[in-house]
Structure 1
């Protein structure tokens, strides 16, 4: 409905320009004034025409206003200086909008594009930690956003099974006889992390043992020692089992786990290297390198092959990107800001051999305030620790607010609030900004994610209390045009924000950013809370309309939270 009205405003301007004999621009842009007193849409067409006509924008705006025709969906059209501003007639628009808000509100038309989105891809040498969580949450939220924006999308986790870290774990198992607890007294990925730590300690104490790690890498790459393959693969699978459990708690699922080893075994890595050699940009010394300094301004050389002939992460990554390039129209990576040089190298290398360079969303890192959580081993804060802390804090808050809850009810709501707090707090800031995770802000019932979830729960409770809501909402939609509805400011403000949801989705998808969705749903819940506190709904003369407004707000909050991977509770 929002796009329809926006297009109506554009059509009005085009008709006016045609009547005046102006050449109509290929694109007429409409902005959204931040102040509603300046209208719902504002056009700068007068500025564009002034450049061509060699006249003042004010003069052209006056001429347009003398010839413009107002359609019924608009209450008025005014010139605010050189700007042409459109004011929606909300007594008409509100009814039309409420008809369009169904359970899939926000779903845009299919684009026909296939996107391969890689995110998280943490090395399987221990549990996910605080350094991984922003990647995972941005990636999963973008998956949800780009899907509702009409794209066909697959998410992949790139499994680094041939890296030195995994070889160290296998060294610990085979040579140091370190064992995992078969009874799972500790989560399996945490056990793997402990084993890796101990094996690393041994290598630091006796550096000569590193040759054994190198031999393991070489043998595993060859793939001919079936017993060794099993040890490597089981270690990786065990760690991934724990990682998947953690991601599942955060409402994150991947469509595919792609193991890098396949690209060595099937010859794709060697093919990539041969193709790069054919470009003339490689140099052979002690190691084979790709030199991009002269023509591309990338000073650091990209090493393609070790002196012993084994592959590197960089060449396996090139083969993986080539694999993704063939699968989709767009390859999208989520990477930490410290990967900028590496991705520049990868992008140029891919383009040299005729493959698509990836789009990349870079993010800065997240940390916790000093002393806000204890680390069990003094090394890092795991995501599992973070989840437990969030749920525990939410439980404590709920016990004071809802002492009547049973233990099961308390835990369920606390999990929804705790996980929501983590996901929303990370999603609400643009990825370019550093984050310090502050518990009081994240779990706030006044301004955090909990306040948004609470707005949804309020809407559900209000609908449950009204018999008319239960019995007659569909009748109300059918009869919505039969009665007058004189909207007040709280209702108008809520309608105005509800209408913008599809546009926010479209804009967010174009720039590959989710923080706009987080801000939108915060604004929507705030507008709903003002409406809820100031307006009577049940037994009011506009009860049908207001119940519809409550219901459609409930749907929109739920759909927006779903993009962020946050549960919308029906009670809190």
Structure 2
């Protein structure tokens, strides 16, 4: 809704320029000034016109001010040097914002654009671990933002069911005497698969001559003629994916579809792609694409020497499928995939597909010794969540002795999962993250501080006897006086603008920063502005209610629950 101020300012400037007989520009620049002392919207129009009019920006500003008619949404328009600054009429603007804001606040107009967004897609050879979690959280949060921005989004998990890792697990099942590990049927299936995979790796390290067995299994599986072998591959992957789904659900991460890699072998897509590339394929023991003319030294190998397909070729078929069934593709990938994406994008263009938009992220690590639950090859997401909830429980117990054990457990779950998601969402994907518990679970600086502001708003409304959304028609006096309440309404009004911008740049962290700013503004309002019993009680309770909705909706965009009590 903040865009209303910008649009009204632009319209007033266009009318002033026309009244002066000057040629209208394609786009008049307006922005939010760095300080509220400089207004709510500022324009550098005079700088834009200076070159064409061959006059100083100061002179141009004075002429524009002489012709401008102040829109009713503004209290005044004045210059700050050559800049033209618009100051909102707080009474009219707050009424406009608070009357329009409903439970679905933030939802933008439909874009009639379908996006296929792939995220997580971890190999099904064990549980999700800390190396995967940033992918999942960025992908799921961005999906929520894009949907709110009006896009149709289908999220997909690309299941690598044909890789060497799965063949190694199958080999382990076929050769139990070598592996010396029997999976526990009562254990979480992805963890059990991971333990078996680890043991097979140990066998292969000790006896490298056995590695050829894996290639043989892959070749037999790809031919698709052995029903028992196919069932083994399918069973391993299904078990692992089942466990991954449980982990994802607890993390509030969702996928619309799980697309199996083998689909593109079985339906003939990989074979058709190789045929369509025949004129470009070179061979030197293995078929490959020479990409040197595109500035890439490393060739794209399309198959193994024994004729079996590679991940790259199957991924090419998958992306062609996505390209043909969406208006736009978005992939979430680690920064180590940059070369592979360049190769894939060039090959896609060769076969008539479009390149994906890729969000590359840097990796996440834990400080040494910060996890007490396991010392192993990796930290699983399940362990990370358990640790977060355990730490949150201790914090809740120290603060709220009045709660039942069930209430503590429910709140701790929301705080713990929220802490993980927010800590990762708050930074741009280009930045490396060291996960720090004290920061993540901080009630002053972390996600808990945002959740706490929501709980505070709920408590205040409950104390006032309000159990449903307040009708703005009950407010008689719309005059805002306190700077804290004015600032809170203005920050609330910016929510749709933040969603619009986040969707435009495919980034989550602007929403995370907005949520923190909003919570900070609400907490300042809560501490300094009297509500219940004040002569502005109706208006201020309405502000509390609308701030509550906005905080909740901003948290929802990051897959974070908003507790009503903390």
> Shorter-normalised TM-score: what interval?
over 0.9
2:498 counterpart of 1:504: yes
Q: Which residue of structure 2 lines up, in the alignment, with residue 170 of structure 1?
A: 170
Deviation at 1:29? 2.5
* Counterpart Cα distance in 2 of 1:181 and 1:165: 17
2:229 counterpart of 1:228: yes
* Counterpart Cα distance in 2 of 1:14 and 1:471: 43
Match among 514, 522, 535 for residue 528 of structure 1: 522
Cα 1:67–1:208 shift into 2, 3 Å: same
2:470 counterpart of 1:473: yes
* 1:258 aligned counterpart, secondary structure: strand
Deviation at 1:3? 2.3
* 1:84 aligned counterpart, secondary structure: strand
Deviation at 1:38? 1.0
Name the TM-score, length of structure 2 as normaliser: 0.98
Q: Which residue of structure 1 lines up, in the alignment, with residue 283 of structure 2?
A: 284
CA RMSD of aligned residues (A): 1.3
Gaps in structure 2 of 5+ consecutive residues: none
Deviation at 1:487? 2.2
CA contact (8 A) 1:368 1:436 kept: yes
2:441 counterpart of 1:446: no
* Matches for 1:313-324 after TM superposition, within 5 Å: 313-324=311-322
* Counterpart Cα distance in 1 of 2:275 and 2:45: 54
CA contact (8 A) 2:118 2:156 kept: yes
Q: Which residue of structure 1 lines up, in the alignment, with residue 324 of structure 2?
A: 326
CA contact (8 A) 1:176 1:199 kept: no
* Counterpart Cα distance in 1 of 2:249 and 2:72: 50
Q: Which residue of structure 2 lines up, in the alignment, with residue 369 of structure 1?
A: 367
Provide Cα deviations, 1:68-88, integer angstroms capped at 9, x if missing partner: 110111011111112111111
* Matches for 1:304-453 after TM superposition, within 5 Å: 304-374=302-372, 376=374, 378-453=376-451
Provide Cα deviations, 1:350-370, integer angstroms capped at 9, x if missing partner: 112210100000000000011
2:553 counterpart of 1:570: no
* Counterpart Cα distance in 2 of 1:7 and 1:569: 36
Cα 1:420–1:73 shift into 2, 3 Å: same
Provide Cα deviations, 1:463-487, integer angstroms capped at 9, x if missing partner: 00103x348922xx1143x435242
Deviation at 1:375? 6.1
* 2:507 aligned counterpart, secondary structure: coil
Q: Which residue of structure 2 lines up, in the alignment, with residue 152 of structure 1?
A: 152
* Counterpart Cα distance in 2 of 1:306 and 1:533: 67
* 1:289 aligned counterpart, secondary structure: strand
* Counterpart Cα distance in 1 of 2:469 and 2:545: 12
Gaps in structure 1 of 5+ consecutive residues: none
* 1:240 aligned counterpart, secondary structure: helix
Name the TM-score, length of structure 1 as normaliser: 0.97
Aligned pair count reads: 564
Q: Which residue of structure 2 lines up, in the alignment, with residue 269 of structure 1?
A: 270
Q: Which residue of structure 1 lines up, in the alignment, with residue 44 of structure 2?
A: 44
Q: Which residue of structure 2 lines up, in the alignment, with residue 259 of structure 1?
A: 260
* Counterpart Cα distance in 1 of 2:21 and 2:470: 49
Provide Cα deviations, 1:102-123, integer angstroms capped at 9, x if missing partner: 0000000011100000000000
